Chain A
Amino acid sequence: MSSPDFDTDTADARFLRMVGADAQAVARLREEFTEWLWVRFDLDDVRSSDIVLVVNEALSNAAEYAYRNWKTSDSITLLATHNASTGALVITVADRGEWRPSEPANQKLSRGRGIPLMEALCDHVEIDRTAGGTHVHLGFDRCRLRLDDRSRISA
C-alpha cells in the first residue's frame, strides 16, 4: 500500500506543492523541498547545494516579480519529477503572474544574478514566459535515488 506522497518502484519520484507568492511561504517551501531531496536522493554536497540554490532563485523570482502589480498575491507551484531510469531530475517553478524584470524596483534585490546562477549550476534551463504566467524548468542529470529509502517505501 502506498500513500499519495510515496511512489512504488515503477513510478518516478515526485514532489508537488503550491504556495502563496510571498517570501515566508517560499522559505518554508524551500526547506520542505530540501528535506525531500535529502530523504529521496543520494547526492554529493555540491550537487544538492546547487539544486537548492537554483530552486530558491526560481521561487524567489516568482515571489518578487510575478505579483508585484497585483493587489492580492496568487500562487507559485513547485513540481519536481525524477526519472529513475535516466537519473534526470526536472524541477519546474510556475507562477501565473507577469514578470517585469525591466522595472527598477523589481531589480532591487537580486540585480539580475538569479538567472545566470541557474544557467551556471543546472545541466538544463528553460524559461517560458507567456501572458498567462512564467514556467522555469531546471534540469539536473545523473541524480541517484537513495537506495535504503526506496526499500523502506516498497516494503
Chain B
Amino acid sequence: MDADSSHTEQWHGRIAVVRAVGAIDMLTAPPLLTAIQAAYAKRPSALVVDLTDAEFLSSAGMQVLVAAHQEITVDARFAVVAEGPGTSRPLKIMGLTDFIDLFSTLDAALDTLAE
C-alpha cells in the first residue's frame, strides 16, 4: 500500500475546490497547504477542501485546515467536505467544526457557497 496523497484543483465558477486523496499525515499535509495557497492566490470567492476521498486526517492535516481557514476567511469563504470516521470525526472531536464550515458532500458545499 502506498501512503501517498495527491491534490487536484477544480473550479466551479469562482469557487475553487482542492481535493485531497489518501492519508493526510505529516508528510502529505505541507503539500496540501501549498496546493490550497496556490488556489487561493487565484482569488476565488470561496475555497473548498474536499476530503471525500481522503483516508484519514491527522493532527498535521487539521493544522493545515486551521491555517488555511485563518488565511482565507480574511476575504473569501472557506469550507471543508468530509464524511466518515477518518475525516469528519477528528474534525468534530477536536472542535474544528466550531469555526470551520463542514459539509458531508461537495454538492452541499457548492450549493451553500454559491448563494
Chain A interface residues toward B at CB < 8 A:
23-24, 26-28, 30-31, 34-35, 45-46, 49-50, 52-53, 56-57, 60, 63-64, 109-114, 116-117, 120-121
When each residue 23-52 of chain B gets 1 if its CB lies under 8 Å from chain A and 0 otherwise, what string results?
A: 101110100000000000000000000000
| Chain A binding surface SS class | helix
Which residues of the other chain, A, contact B93 by a CB distance below 8 angstroms? Answer: 117, 120-121
| A109 and B29 contacting across the interface, CB-CB below 8 Å | yes
Q: Report if A116-B94 is in contact (Cβ < 8 Å); known contacts: A53-B58, A60-B58.
A: yes
| A57 and B56 contacting across the interface, CB-CB below 8 Å | no
Is B113's CB within 8 Å of the partner chain A?
A: no
Number of A-B residue pairs at CB separation under 8 A: 79
Which residues of the other chain, A, contact B63 by a CB distance below 8 angstroms? Answer: 109-111, 113
| A23 and B59 contacting across the interface, CB-CB below 8 Å | no
CA distance A45 to B85 in the complex (A): 7
Which residues of the other chain, A, contact B56 by a CB distance below 8 angstroms? Answer: 49, 52-53, 56
Q: Report if A63-B26 is in contact (Cβ < 8 Å); known contacts: A30-B3, A56-B58, A111-B59.
A: yes
CA distance A111 to B27 in the complex (A): 15
